[in-house]
Amino acid sequence: MLYEGLLLLAIALFASVVFYAASGGLDATAGAARLALQVFLLAVFAAYFLASWLRGGQTLAMKAWRIRLVQVTPARALARFACALVLVPCGVSILWALFDRDGQFLHDRLAGTRLVAA
């Protein structure tokens, strides 16, 4: 997850520059511009994960660790992203994996996907 976080940081920085340039230099620290930037970043993150998972079952960080997502469909990928968006930051999904009989994350169980060694 640390690798994925570093990649997301780079993606967020690039997307923020694109947003700033496209918005004509809006102050993205207040009001509607801030909300628009947050929604834009969420859409960019979703595009990154969904495209990676649906194209080959792996993000760049997953390739580095030789992990692949299987049993993935567009609906399952979207469900996995939505569940992970809530369950990973609060630690529930990570804690779940420690006690899961197969070592799977809760967001994978809920979405019907599986992580396997690639």
pTM of the model: 0.91
What is the count of structural domains for the chain? Answer: 1
d(CA 26, CA 68) in angstroms, rounded, equals: 39
Q: What is the pLDDT along the chain (118 residues), one digit of tens a residue?
A: 899 999 999 999 999 999 998 888 777 677 888 889 999 999 999 999 999 999 999 999 999 999 999 999 999 999 999 999 999 999 999 999 999 999 999 999 999 999 999 8
What is the dihedral sign for C-alpha 52, 68, 79, 38? negative
Q: Quick check: 106 and 98 in contact, CB under 8 A? A: no
Spell out where 13-83 has E strands: 67-70
The pair of structure tokens assigned to 46 is: 């979703």
Q: Give CA separation, 44 vs 6, 49, 97, in Å.
A: 15, 9, 27
